[in-house]
Amino acid sequence: MYKKILLASSIATILFAGCSSKQYFNPEQTASLRTSNMGDKLINYSRDGATLASGTILTKNQSKKIELDKGFYFINNNRNAAITADLQGNCHIVTKEGTVASAKFPQALVAGTLIGQYLVYVLQNNNYGIYDLKEHKIVYNNEAHKAYAIDRRIANPLIIDKLVVIPTLDGKIVVLDLTTKKISKEIFVSTEKSLNNIIFLRSLNNALIAATHHKMISISSKGKTEYDKEISDVVINGENLFVFQKNGKIAKLDKSLSIISEKKFKFAHFSTVAVDEEKVYGLEKQGYLIVSNRNLSKYKVYNAPEVEGFTFVSGDKIYYDGQIIDLSTLSYE
């Protein structure tokens, strides 16, 4: 009996020590912040959009109302149509006139981009390929390695001339020729076993930028460069990349991933981030909003509601937990 009590006491001590050692962002000065009521609820989000309970879709730039079938959520959109999907592998292409095309996959669609009559896709089982919406069939499919844990912010395929860059769930980008339907190149961004999907994929001044939570790479005519840091999120604005790291540091980089400026906010854990022409924003999970200038030399910290659910930035507003924060009203001074 004594041994059992001693064992239980030891376990409790270890657990307590583990919990007590966790450290939190604790700014010295904060300012008050006003929020408005969303009157709605975020029920799903991805890299490029979020779905509200009302059926309203939030893209990176705006909110729009489209007709979503029950159980469907937003994946991606172009100027004229949105890609929506459910958990059973059904996919709808939706315009203002309603559903104009559909596809059925063996697994749930987690990323996709429309290119003419083609839907370039990534599935939950890490299969990727091309679906012909006119022929109503898969015209190219390939299998990547199984991914055991992924971040919901899955990057969507990126069009570059007649090539499409497909981000896989196991840390790889695949360059596929749309004309020949053959792979031109495969590049691993990182090779970690968990949370290794591509969370960011963009082009910046003829450089291809891709990132997982564990590393970011830049590929251009000058070669390949790496930024080997643990990453929470990445934003491109203008000529620069802004990298929000898991250790609380924000770094401003150029397209070659050289550091222009950086600032560390000790123990900050970023939930969602944004950058505009004048300011940098980082919503911290414990309930703080950091607002900085683009050079990261001046900043102000606001008290905000603690993050308990999904978060998403659309235009100049942050949506989360039924609240809206208007970023345009905030200053770093």
Domain contains 68: yes
Between 215 and 66, the higher pLDDT residue: 215
pLDDT digit string, tens, across residues 22-55: 788 999 999 999 999 999 999 999 899 999 998 8
The pTM score is 0.90
Residue 21, pLDDT score: 59
Specify the CATH number for the domain of residue 126: 2.130.10.10
pLDDT tens digits for 102-136? 999 999 999 999 999 999 999 999 999 999 999 99
Q: How far apart are CA 61 and CA 216, in angstroms?
A: 24
Q: Structural domain of residue 116, as residue ranges?
A: 48-156
Angle 319-320-324 (CA atoms, 0-180°, nearest 5)?
A: 45
CA 292 to chain centre: 21
Q: Cα Rg for the chain, rounded, in angstroms?
A: 21
Total domain count, the chain: 1
- Residue 185 is predicted with a pLDDT of 95
Is 227 within the bounds of a domain? no
Statement: residue 74 has pLDDT above 60: yes
Chain centre to alpha carbon of residue 99 = 26
Task: Tell me, yes or no, whether 113 lies in a domain.
Answer: yes
Residue at 125 is within a domain: yes
Q: Is there a domain that residue 233 lies in?
A: no
pLDDT score recorded for residue 239: 94
Residue 7 clears pLDDT 70, i.e. is over it: no
- Let me know if 97 is exposed, middle or buried by CB neighbors in 10 A (0-12, 13-18, 19+): exposed
Helix (H/G/I), strand (E/B), else coil: 315? coil
Q: What is the pLDDT of residue 4?
A: 42
